[in-house]
Amino acid sequence: MAQLCVNTKSASRHVKGAAHGFTPMAPGCEAVIMSSALVEALRAGLPADAVLTDPDVTSSYAHDMASFCDAGAPAVVVLPRTVEQVQHVMRTATALRVPVVPQGARTGLSGGANASDGCVVVSLVKMDRILEISPVDRIAVVEPGVVNATLSRAVAEHGLAYPPDPSSWEMCTIGGNIGTASGGLCCVKYGVTAEYVLGLDVVLADGRLLRTGRRTAKGVAGYDLTRLFVGSEGSLGIVVRAVLALKPRPPRQLVLAAEFASAAAACDAVCAVMAKGHLPSLLELMDRTTIRAVNSLAHMGLPETTEALLLAAFDTPDPAADLAAVGALCEAAGATQVVPAEDAAESELLLQARRLSLTALEAVKGTTMIDDVCVPRSRLGDLLDGVERIAEKYALTIGVCAHAGDGNTHPTVCFDAADPDESRRARESFDEIMALGLDLGGTITGEHGVGVLKKEWLARELGPVGVEMQRAVKAAFDPHHLLNPGKLF
């Protein structure tokens, strides 16, 4: 490999010596040689503008939106436009044993797309074509870099919907959504990304192309490898094409807001609504901290004296009737006020408040750690209770907004990152919330993924046999551990 070092001034001097066996290799030279060989090999199968090596540029690809997650410096960032180019990248990476970190729009919240030192970042954002939309088959075929909102708007023109709607839907890509099995507000009725992925084309670690799944409504031929890739955070292969299931576009939803004097009462209402067999298209909760943060950011005039605000929506043929029934259940659970929106505009305003929650909480102290604990919805009250105790114990502001209908909460620790003690307390409270979630029969992540942020916790949730079998699957797909190393496990 020494002859490849001529591209790199600082290293070539030493290598010449090394070739004659006289001069010892200077520290760091090996990495430089490797990097140079790598870039040259990558360039052999990629257009010039698809290979970025300027550190000022590549460093901007170092991390996603998570706090407290280490990120390394990529050796190179590539922006392939075709399946063949991705295959070339993976063949090169395997030949040279260089780690690869696949990325979408880097809106993730767990560090799952963070670079590791010396890796190849494969950004899929340039593979952004919608290849097909079929109203009869109710499918879309897309490349991974398609932005969620772009797809949603495109299928809406055909009277169809692609339901998964993470908060970042205007930025995040379908490939990223598949990597983290993203959720959103709609999941209580429409489920998560996993339920919409029918088939995938995946470039494996060694560059082979694997086609999984199908474009039919049903299919059980062999093991469900499609679902194995969904939520695998780029650690098993690189998704280069997806067949997605679509739904008929539902009627516009109508929203109701219910105020409660305690979080417990709001949780009782959630349980009553679900136990009675209602199918809301959205059932969201904001606690007092979140309400105040939103008011403070956007002056939305939400009721600051209330302890918890519940938003319920229906996109049924008669949403007003459904909202009336749910309103009655809220009142029975102790709601102090129930206000159904009169029209779509009022509904949108209420949802706007919910969507601003995380941004508003971030403004409280400058930094947040957003947790993603999901518990059986019957334990939602216990979780909120526990989070309040944890906030007191650590003297921290922790706001909770939640996809309450799913039991999926986002306790959000607000802290000043410049204050080391507060940062430490933030980290400890964050861990304590996950421990509480597991104690309540829940999971450490409902929709954000494990990434770097929660990998120690994953082992706690899965137990030793679980971890062993997950590692066995990883080894079957990526024997050299090149794909997104240091994530998940």
Residues 209-268 that bind a copy of itself (CB under 8 A): 209-212, 214-225, 227-228, 230-232, 236, 248-249
Give the pair of three-digit tokens for residue 349.
């305003």
Q: Which of 90, 185, 335, 458 binds a copy of itself (CB under 8 A)?
A: 458
The dihedral of CA 219, 220, 226, 232: what is its sign? positive
Encoded amino acid at 460, one letter = R
Kindly write out the interface string for residues 467-486 of this chain, putting x where it contacts a copy of itself by CB under 8 A and - elsewhere: --xx-xxxxxx---------
The CA distance from 204 to 128, in Å, is 20
List the one residue from 63, 292, 377, 410 that touches a copy of itself (CB under 8 A): 377
Judged by CB under 8 A, does residue 316 bind a copy of itself? Answer: yes
> Cα–Cα–Cα angle for 54, 60, 61, nearest 5°?
95
Among 171, 462, 480, 485, binds a copy of itself (CB under 8 A): 462
- The least CB distance from residue 444 to a copy of itself, in Å, is 6
Q: Are 19 and 4 within 8 A, CB to CB? A: no
Q: Least Å distance between CB 233 and a copy of itself?
A: 9
Binding of residue 381 to a copy of itself (CB under 8 A): no
Structure tokens at 17: 């010596």
Least distance in Å: CB of 289 to a copy of itself? 23
Site size toward a copy of itself, by CB under 8 A: 88
Of residues 141 through 160, those in contact with a copy of itself by CB under 8 A are 159-160
Residue 60's SS3 state is helix
One residue of 47, 135, 301, 366 binding a copy of itself per CB under 8 A: 135
| Alpha-carbon distances of 149 from 81, 153, 162, 359, rounded to whole Å | 20, 6, 9, 19
Question: β-pairing, 238-245 with 139-142?
Answer: antiparallel
SS3 20: helix
User: Which residue's CB is nearer to a copy of itself, number 55 or number 376?
Assistant: 376
Q: Which residues contact 237 (CB under 8 A, 6 or more apart)?
A: 202, 203, 204, 205, 210, 229, 477, 478, 483
**CB hemisphere CA count around 351 (13 angstroms):** 22
Closest CA to 379 of 462, 449, 439: 439
Which member of 292, 365, 410, 448 binds a copy of itself (CB under 8 A)? Answer: 448
**In one letter, which amino acid is 85?**
Q
What ranges make up the beta strands (E) of 124-223? Answer: 130-134, 139-142, 160-161, 197-203, 209-213
Tell me the closest approach of the beta carbon of residue 59 to a copy of itself, in angstroms.
Answer: 29
Contact between 435 and a copy of itself per CB under 8 A: no
Of residues 318 through 337, those in contact with a copy of itself by CB under 8 A are 318
Backbone region of residue 108 per phi and psi (left: phi > 0; alpha: psi in -120 to 50; beta: other values) = beta
293 scored as a contact of a copy of itself (CB under 8 A): no
Contact 415, 365 (CB under 8 A): yes
Residue ranges in 176-195 that form contacts with a copy of itself under rule CB under 8 A = 180-181, 183, 187-188, 192, 194-195
- Within 391-420, the residues that bind a copy of itself by CB under 8 A are 403, 405-408
Min separation Cβ 278 and a copy of itself, Å: 7
Rounded least distance, CB 393 to a copy of itself, Å: 25
- For a copy of itself, the binding residue among 1, 95, 275, 324 (CB under 8 A) is 275
272 vs 298, beta carbon nearer a copy of itself: 272
Return the residue matching tokens 């880097």.
Answer: 106
Residue among 213, 154, 153, 137 at smallest CA distance from 178: 213
Residue 165 in the binding site for a copy of itself (CB under 8 A): no
452 near a copy of itself, rule: CB under 8 A: no
